Structure formats: structure tokens, C-alpha cells
Amino acid sequence: MNEQHIFLVGPMGVGKTTVGKQLSGLLHRPFVDVDAEIESRCGADIQWIFDMEGEVGFRERESKVLAELVADKQPKVIATGGGIVLSDDNRGILQASGLVVYLSATFEQLVERTKRDKTRPLLQVDDREAVIKQLIETRSPLYHQVADLVFPSGSTQPLKLAKKLAEAVSAL
């Protein structure tokens, strides 16, 4: 197990970055956030990339970063963006390159956790709840498809969840 990357997948607002940072500390391995990596390579934030290149351009960057990250074999904790599972290729890479943990949450929890969000382009719409509902419907099966482990994250304190995850991963 120790030789594998650990990927955190799941919807926007579920806490992948926060839990991932805690988990990386507990497991003493580097943490990488795919969104942050895209932004630092591009020198612009995600909203700018969506504005200039559309979602298609963003997805290309996302796939490229994922492929490059897994090419480096040093085991890491990798937090992914909520839409990474949309691409067949990305799903194949995730499944082939490490342990995939799906952090899940209910519709109500996601609505609550994203209600003040101003940075995620897909959520800057009038009817945010409709978008969240639709994303859950289309993406939940894809998260399940790639996941080795599923952890409900919605109401659990991040450090507590990270500790549970570290235990589960270490027991494998």
C-alpha cells in the first residue's frame, strides 16, 4: 500500500483539500492539490481559465496535470477536482495509479458547504441547487466506479475523518 498514491475524489465542497492535507501529515507524505497545481502552472486562477479557455480548456489542463503527477512515483496524497472523473482516460489513470478514496456527502450538505462559494465557476449561477443536484446525478456513479474506498465526509470533522482514513489505508 505504501507504494501507491492516494487520490481523493468527490464533489465540490466535500473537503478533499482540507482532509487531504491532514491525511498527508498523518501519513508523512507530500500533498498535492490538482486545482492548485493547475493554477500555479498556468499562473492564473480557475475562474480565469474557464473564462479564457472554457471548461474544455480547463479539462485539458486537468488531465495533463493528473498524468504528470502520477508519472512521479513518489507516493503522494492527491486531492482532485470534482470533475476529474468525467474523462474515461482520467478514470483509467486514477484506477491504475493508486488507491482512490471517494469522499461523499448528501445534497443538503453540499448545498450548505458551498453556499458562500465565489471561486468555483460551475457554481456561479442563479440556481446553484439545481446544478449541485445535476452534478450529483451525473457524477456519483463515476465516483463509485473509480473508488476503492468510500467515506461519508459531510458531517465529520476533517481531522477525525483524516485519522479514520489513515487507519483504513494503513490496514490495507
Give kind and range of the element (H or E) at residue 64. Answer: helix 46-71
User: Based on CB atoms, which residue is closest to ligand S3P, 13 or 98?
Assistant: 13
Task: Sort 126 into a burial class: Cβ within 10 Å, 0-12 / 13-18 / 19+.
Answer: exposed
Separation between Cα atoms, residue 53 and residue 169, nearest integer Å: 38
Tell me, what amino acid is at 81?
A: G
- Whole-angstrom CA distances from 52 to 9, 69, 105, 150 are 26, 24, 31, 35
Told to check if 61 binds ligand S3P by CB under 6 A, we report: no
User: Based on CB atoms, which residue is closest to ligand S3P, 1 or 49?
Assistant: 49
Told to check if 16 binds ligand S3P by CB under 6 A, we report: yes
Looking at 81, 90, 99, 169, which residue binds ligand S3P (CB under 6 A)? 81
Told to check if 76 binds ligand S3P by CB under 6 A, we report: no
Q: Of 68-76, 98-106, 120-128, 156-164, which segment contacts ligand S3P by CB under 6 A?
A: 120-128
Looking at 44, 70, 122, 149, which residue binds ligand S3P (CB under 6 A)? 122
